[in-house]
Chain A
Amino acid sequence: DIRMTQSPSSLSASVGDRVTITCQASQDISNSLSWYQQKPGKAPKLLIYDASNSETGVPARFSGSGSGTDFTFTISSLQPEDFATYYCQHYDNLRSFVTFGGGTKVEIK
């Protein structure tokens, strides 16, 4: 099974900071990776798909990059509404399997 290791598990940052979260796959997954934002008490929201493509309506400060085993999610300038938990997700259509990373909680410093 492919394992997704997300880091850090939590971080503290200030409004305006640049925030970077990484997700590492245990084997090559090409670009089959997405990123979600989840706020307390709410369902996750898709932000990035296929490693680097932004979902419609997602602010430009959110971006993703990477391929193979190493992926990065970046918030270029953290806004008050961005404090949330972020998850990476690998999807394997060939094996009909989905797996999520452990999540990164972004808190206010």
Chain B
Amino acid sequence: EVQLVQSGAEVKKPGESLKISCKGSGYIFRTYWIGWVRQMPGKGLEWMGIIYPGDSDTRYSPSFQGQVTISADKSINTAYVQWSSLKASDTAMYYCARAGRSGEVATIFDYWGQGTLVTVSS
């Protein structure tokens, strides 16, 4: 069974750093792109970027380029997104999702993590 399990909720202060994770199982993790999607409170879905764990090839949405860093460790089947200096506007639910066609960078998302709620408040 394919599963993506994300790290738990975080409460941080503005200016702090953060790294959240997404661990895949039930499939060959390194062969499917993993994407990250932001959902701000009461708002829609926004695609942040995507990484191929096999070689760490990463693509970013222009809206998120320079704002976050997406990475992966294929040895432990885990993808990450990190912030070096959080802002209140980073408060959101963050989802990881598997790109459903092996090797295709921009495609459907067939499996999703449960989400990680990040709250940034002073």
Residues of A within 8 A of B (CB): 1, 34, 36, 38, 43-46, 49, 55, 87, 89, 91-93, 95-103
**Tally of chain B residues near chain A (CB < 8 A):** 24
Chain A residues contacting B105 (CB-CB under 8 Å) are: 93, 96
Residue B45 CB within 8 A of the other chain:
yes
Give bound CA distance, A45 to B50, whole Å: 18
| Further pairs besides A87-B44, A100-B44, A103-B45: 17, Cβ < 8 Å | A36-B109, A38-B45, A43-B112, A43-B114, A44-B37, A46-B100, A46-B109, A49-B100, A89-B45, A91-B108, A93-B104, A97-B47, A97-B59, A98-B50, A98-B61, A98-B106, A99-B47
Residue B35 CB within 8 A of the other chain:
yes
Q: Which residue of B lies closest to A87 (CB)?
A: B45
Interchain CB contact under 8 A, B45 and A44: yes
Interchain CB contact under 8 A, B44 and A103: yes
Chain A residues contacting B45 (CB-CB under 8 Å) are: 36, 38, 44, 87, 89, 100, 103
Provide the main secondary structure of the chain A interface.
strand
| 15 contacting pairs across A/B (C-beta < 8 A) | A43-B97, A43-B113, A44-B37, A44-B95, A45-B112, A46-B110, A91-B107, A91-B108, A93-B104, A97-B47, A97-B61, A98-B50, A99-B47, A100-B44, A101-B44
Give bound CA distance, A34 to B37, whole Å: 15
Interchain CB contact under 8 A, A46 and B47: no
Interchain CB contact under 8 A, A98 and B47: yes
Interface residues as binary, B77-107 with A (CB distance below 8 Å gives 1, 0 otherwise)? 0000000000000000001010010001111
Chain A residues contacting B50 (CB-CB under 8 Å) are: 96, 98
Interchain CB contact under 8 A, B106 and A93: yes
Residue B115 CB within 8 A of the other chain:
yes
Chain A residues contacting B107 (CB-CB under 8 Å) are: 91, 93
Q: Which residue of B lies closest to A94 (CB)?
A: B106
Q: Which residue of B lies closest to A101 (CB)?
A: B44
Greatest chain A CB density within 10 A among B61, B108, B110 is at B108
Chain B residues contacting A38 (CB-CB under 8 Å) are: 45
Within 8 A of A (CB), among B49-86: 50, 59, 61-62
Give bound CA distance, A55 to B114, whole Å: 19
